[in-house]
Chain A
Amino acid sequence: MIFWHEMKKLWNPKVLIGILLISLFFYEFFLSFYFEYFPNGRPTADMHKINVEMIEDYGHTLDESEFEGVQLWFEETNKEAQAYLEQDPTARELGITSYQSLHEKLADAEFGSAEYKKMDQLYSRIMFEEEVDAFWEIQGYETMMRHYEDSSTISHPVDGIEDNFHSILPYYVYENFQNLILKTGTLITIVVSLVIGLVHLPDQRKNMLPIQYVTRKGRRLFKSKLIASLVTTLVVTTIYLGAFFLLYSQNGTSPFFDSSLRSFELGLGVMFWYDFTFGEYILATVTIIYGVAILSALLSFVISRLVSNYLALVGIQICVTTSMALIFSTFLLVRLFSTDFSLWVYWAWIGVLGVIGICALLWRNRIEWTVDVF
């Protein structure tokens, strides 16, 4: 069956080694950071712990009474910090009894004075040498509680979005996913463009067309190659997304999958047209990636048939993948369906990109039946 022959040609070991090397390079330089450093430092790591505990105890939303419960946790943590300070001779000498007083006195002290130096040393010892959890957690609580309180001030700039913004979904979780999915989507686009870009050109360069096109299959080979290209694209995209989610599962964000994007932390920075949960949002980005991968495959497929040398192929492919990366980073993966743009803009772009891919394919398919082969 000719489909398998074309598949074997696409899955050429040399190309596979090439894309593996590119992927490793891409992972090392653009992706690994977001896996290895999540949550990134303190107090983000402490906030993460608090957020997960809140979901475990209160579910995916935090109402006013539950918020009072969180405030009690905060008070408990403050007491732990106070107990630590009571035991500490320097703190006692400086008259520091709480985390808040440490901050206030440090702020009030004259910079460079002996008292300032002592307080600064105490602060550094607590926070960076001994890394006392209670002090970091206080910072985390303060940030989180401020966001919760501020969420009541979130205005609803767009008609139709009415929400109390009580969902628990921290910004750093969303931001981390956004960075990862943007880079993964770009990598998939590059890989698909590279693999599918080689569907026609090598045959053309090897002068295979005069033999292929006079066979019974003839010009229908174009369709067989198209099917092999689309199957390859789906397999490559699935493998890459599979590997991505395997790595992403290590980030421990699954407790937030059922939290709405309209959370008290995200609502202050970004608003979404749809009331997606974080899990649904992930699915939406996955759908976009499959769609753009297919679009890249269709464009590469047509380009590969049009160009006559590898240099031209690489040049055009760079333009295509750069455009895709720009579209991804502007709105199609980053801040997808956010109120940064009108809702119709997203759907219009999705429609336009779909039409571009289909038109390019139909145009070439029509020409294919009448084009002279040399």
Chain B
Amino acid sequence: MLEVHHVTKNYQSFTALKEVDLQFDHGIYGLLAPNGAGKTTLMKMLVTLTFPSDGEITYNHENIVDLGEEYRDILGYLPQDFGYYKSYTAEKYLMYIAALKGLDKTKAKLRIKELLELVGLQDVGRKKLKKFSGGMIQRVGVCQALLNDPKVLILDEPTAGLDPKERARFKRLLSTLARDRIILLSTHIVSDIESIAKEIIMIKDKRVLYKKNQEELRSLLEGKLFEAIIPFEDVEAYHSKFSVLSEKQEKNGIKVRFVSEQKGAWNEVEPSLEDVFLYVYEEETDLSEDRKHD
């Protein structure tokens, strides 16, 4: 079990995360938060790239920093915008990472073949990475993370650059892998984790706001989410009165999806994970919208 105990991370006077407590057992965990919320900071601490300013992270009740090599031996990590050598072939690059992971040459060759097949790159293993598309590079990144058959797999925005077909394939792959390992996947795209995550972690104001399964998260908006078709001139009034999560132009007006504590003459709808995400991060969403208008 991977546990985060009261972890705070400061960068000089700036606090990136505050008193975070989390536990991870087998399965897929989705780390959902807008950009800049501290997802990457948490992940970097989980993979020992950065260290908590306060608190500790343990694996099977031992501090991961003290475990050192033993912990990293069961760790797979795909960073956001991961590095690679353009002049290397996919196989050569993976051989290098395999050497860093302590795999012997023969075992590494077999494992690389197996993984390239798994991600559909078996025919381009000997091509240089500079000829790869963004999606292909991302798949090579997934391969490197899986080289040592990790017990803890941490993926930072892993679906970036993947097309819908690749995303679907990737989700299937993760579901298969999750049977006997911990997978923590960070994203700001709700659909990436909606169907596969055992639990969703939401970070807000530098703290963990929720760590719940999807049902529990959806229940937060149970009986509070409505849809209504309203005239254009009423849109502003709805915005000031309710939390409007989405708007859609219809023939006879605007269809708004909003949260209200009181019931009215509106259609009550089933909340989705996306609704919860938009509701929780309403301020950030609005702010980002404002910035766009600027």
Contact = CB atoms under 8 A, between A and B. Distances in A.
A208 B99 contact: no
Given A211-B82, A214-B47, 5 more contacts: A207-B83, A210-B83, A213-B48, A216-B148, A373-B49
Contacts of A374: 44, 49-50
B197 to A, nearest CB: 22
With a 10 A CB-CB cut-off, give which of B44, B81, B85, B100 has the most chain A CB atoms.
Answer: B100
A218 B48 contact: yes
User: Chain B interface mostly helix, strand, loop or mixed?
Assistant: loop
Interface in A201-229: 203, 206-218, 221
A216 B68 CA distance: 8
B82 A207 contact: yes
Contacts of A49: none
A206 B137 CA distance: 14
A2 interface: yes
A215 B101 contact: yes
Contacts of B84: 206, 208
Contacts of B82: 207, 210-211
Interface stretch (B21-29, B70-78, B213-221, B240-248): B70-78
Contacts of A221: 100
Contacts, number: 73
With a 10 A CB-CB cut-off, give which of A1, A208, A215, A374 has the most chain B CB atoms.
Answer: A215
A372 interface: yes
User: Chain A interface mostly helix, strand, loop or mixed?
Assistant: loop
5 contacts: A5-B96, A206-B85, A209-B49, A216-B101, A374-B49
A65 interface: no
What interface size band does chain B fall in?
A: 20 to 34
A155 interface: no
B190 interface: no
B13 to A, nearest CB: 15
A211 B99 contact: no
Contact of A207 (B44, B79, B100): B79
Nearest to A202: B85
B97 A215 contact: yes
Given A2-B99, A206-B84, A218 B72 contact: yes
B85 A216 contact: no
Contact of B50 (A208, A215, A372): A372
A1 B108 CA distance: 12
Given A211-B79, A370-B51, A373-B49, A218 B85 contact: no
A206 B96 CA distance: 15
A360 B138 CA distance: 38
A210 B47 CA distance: 9
B163 to A, nearest CB: 23
Contacts of A217: 99-102
Q: Which 7 A-B pairs have the closest CB atoms?
A: A208-B83, A207-B83, A215-B100, A210-B79, A372-B50, A216-B102, A206-B83
What interface size band does chain A fall in?
A: 20 to 34
Interface string A353-374: 0000000000000000010111
B186 interface: no
Interface in B226-255: none
A59 B96 CA distance: 60
Contact of B83 (A1, A203, A215, A370): A203
Given A5-B99, A370-B51, A373-B50, A214 B83 contact: no
A214 B83 CA distance: 13
Nearest to B47: A214
Contacts of A211: 77, 79, 82-83, 97, 144
Contacts of B274: none
B69 interface: yes
B223 to A, nearest CB: 44
Contacts of A373: 44, 49-50
Contacts of A207: 79, 81-83
With a 10 A CB-CB cut-off, give which of B50, B83, B101 has the most chain A CB atoms.
Answer: B83
Given A206-B83, A207-B81, A214 B97 contact: no
A5 B100 CA distance: 10
Contacts of A218: 48, 68-69, 72
Nearest to B103: A216
Contacts of A5: 96, 99
A212 B102 CA distance: 12
B140 to A, nearest CB: 11
B212 to A, nearest CB: 28
A213 B45 CA distance: 12
Contacts of B51: 370, 372
Nearest to B77: A214
Contact of B100 (A206, A216, A370): A216
Contacts of B148: 215-216
A213 B81 contact: no
A16 to B, nearest CB: 14
Interface in A269-291: none
With a 10 A CB-CB cut-off, give which of A2, A218, A221, A374 has the most chain B CB atoms.
Answer: A218
A215 B44 contact: no
